[in-house]
Amino acid sequence: MLPIPIFDTNIFGHVQTGKIPQSDWKKVMRHRPGHGWPLSLVTVLELLVDLDNVTEETFAEFRERIDIAFRLANGRVLEDPKFLICRDLLRIPPPPHIIPPSAAVLLVYLDVIRRAQSLEQLLTGRVKAKHNRASGLRGTDAPKVIVEGVKKQWVSRVENTATSLCPEWRTCFEQTGWRLPKETRRALKQDQDLNAEAATFIAELLEWFGSEREPEVIADLKIRLDAVLRFTVFVVGEFLHRNYSLENHDSDIFDQFQLHYLALDEFIIVSNDADLWKRTAGSPQASRIMSFEGFLRTLS
């Protein structure tokens, strides 16, 4: 089975600015299957984040970026990766008490945005939908709520991991402006704590799934989610050692979320984000994270 490429958000910006030449993008479009290469739910969320900052003057550029992504995917969006892990890997029903971001709803937003003639038309819900009737959708409704939910989960994940490694970090931060005393910063070794963090992470994920699994399933998940774990541990290390601001690194939220797709063998990630490659180096999934140029070379 051919791998399914997940295009990171930066790819569409590079196409728009010409950093990725039009000749190369046309080659990608020629090689995509007739039903398109679906956008990941994560890529869509990150594309929609710009709704908060777009102005009437920048709206045309924003709309074009959305349209580039929509055409590549032929209007298809993947479900939440954790739900795909439930359905396709663990073979269990997704947790009924947790409602994921709706791929179908986000797809409607993408389509409405690319049809809008102006930001004012989008924000007032007057964009014509497929059947030439006003959609009634406003660009700032559901996407912002969904993105805020994802951000809260990420902040909680990082802070809980930091607490497991150093329970007193909050007190230290209040008293000194640093989350760890100097001596502790020198002594704490990220690599040595990876296995402990992996066990906690997998346990929390299985609790989220509502599933008690056999040891061999847990061991398999630990391997399949290694890129996610390495990325998380790197950020936690920055958070504890260097007063890294979670609020100022929004893209890390989406990168960590995106990496969950690599738990499933059929996906690869196409990204020009060098930090993503560095933070997952050594992972079993590292070979399935490639640059746009690397992906282009795989197209015959």
Question: What confidence tens digit (pLDDT) does each residue in 148-180 have?
Answer: 777 787 888 788 877 877 788 889 888 888 888
Closest by CA to 278, choosing from 300, 296, 255, is: 255
| pLDDT of res. 190 | 52
Neighbours of 36 (CB within 10 A): 15
| pLDDT of res. 97 | 66
| pLDDT of res. 188 | 64
Name the 3-class secondary structure at 197. helix
Phi, psi dihedrals of residue 179, rounded to the nearest 5°? -85, -15
Name the 3-class secondary structure at 300. coil
Residue 134: domain span: 4-297
Rounded Cα–Cα distance for residues 163 and 107 (Å) = 37
Residues of the chain with pLDDT under 50: 191-192
Stated pTM of the model: 0.87
Q: How many domains does the chain have?
A: 1
Rounded Cα–Cα distance for residues 102 and 218 (Å) = 28
Q: What is the DSSP string of 38-85?
A: PBPHHHHHHHHHGGGT--TTTHHHHHHHHHHHHHHHTS-BPPPHHHHI
